[in-house]
Structure 1
Amino acid sequence: MIKVVPMQEEHIDGVLAVEEATFSIPWTRQDFEREVKENAMAIYFVALDGEKVVAYAGMWHVITEGHITNVAVLQEYRRQGIGDLLMESLERVALEREMIGITLEVRIHNEPAQRLYHKYGFRPEGIRKNYYSDTHEDAVIMWKYYPFYEDYEEHCNKR
Structure 2
Amino acid sequence: MLEEFKMLPLDLEHIEDILIIENLSFPIPWSREAWIQEIRSNKLARYIMILDKNRAIAYGGMWLILDEAHITNIAVHPDYRGKGIGKKLMQGLIDTAKREGIMQMSLEVRKSNTIAIHLYESFGFRVEGMRKEFYLDNHEDALIMWRRE
Q: TM-score, normalised by structure 2?
A: 0.96
Residue 117 of structure 1 is matched in structure 2 by: 120
Alpha-carbon distance in structure 1 between the residues aligned to 2:100 and 2:48: 16
Once the two structures are superposed, residues 131-157 of structure 1 have per-residue CA deviations (whole angstroms, 9 ceiling, x without a partner) of 0000000000000012xxxxxxxxxxx
Residue 67 of structure 1 is matched in structure 2 by: 70
Residue 31 of structure 1 is matched in structure 2 by: 34
Q: 2:44 aligns with which of 41, 46, 55?
A: 41
Once the two structures are superposed, residues 81-115 of structure 1 have per-residue CA deviations (whole angstroms, 9 ceiling, x without a partner) of 11111111111111112213000000000000001
Residue 93 of structure 1 is matched in structure 2 by: 96
Alpha-carbon distance in structure 2 between the residues aligned to 1:58 and 1:136: 23
Residue 74 (structure 1) shift: 1.0
Alpha-carbon distance in structure 1 between the residues aligned to 2:14 and 2:49: 8
Give yes or no for the alignment of 1:9 onto 2:8: no
Alpha-carbon distance in structure 2 between the residues aligned to 1:54 and 1:100: 27
Q: 1:130 aligns with which of 128, 133, 137?
A: 133
Once the two structures are superposed, residues 34-82 of structure 1 have per-residue CA deviations (whole angstroms, 9 ceiling, x without a partner) of 1110000010011111111111000000111000000000111011111
Alpha-carbon distance in structure 1 between the residues aligned to 2:56 and 2:100: 26
Alpha-carbon distance in structure 1 between the residues aligned to 2:67 and 2:40: 22
Residue 139 of structure 1 is matched in structure 2 by: 142
Gaps of 5+ in 2: none
| DSSP 3-state at the match of 2:6 | strand
Larger gyration radius, structure 1 or structure 2: 1
**Dislocated runs of 4+, deviation >4 Å:** none
Q: Percent identity?
A: 43
Alpha-carbon distance in structure 2 between the residues aligned to 1:145 and 1:35: 26
Gaps of 5+ in 1: 147-159
| DSSP 3-state at the match of 2:107 | strand
Alpha-carbon distance in structure 1 between the residues aligned to 2:147 and 2:80: 26
Q: TM-score, normalised by structure 1?
A: 0.90
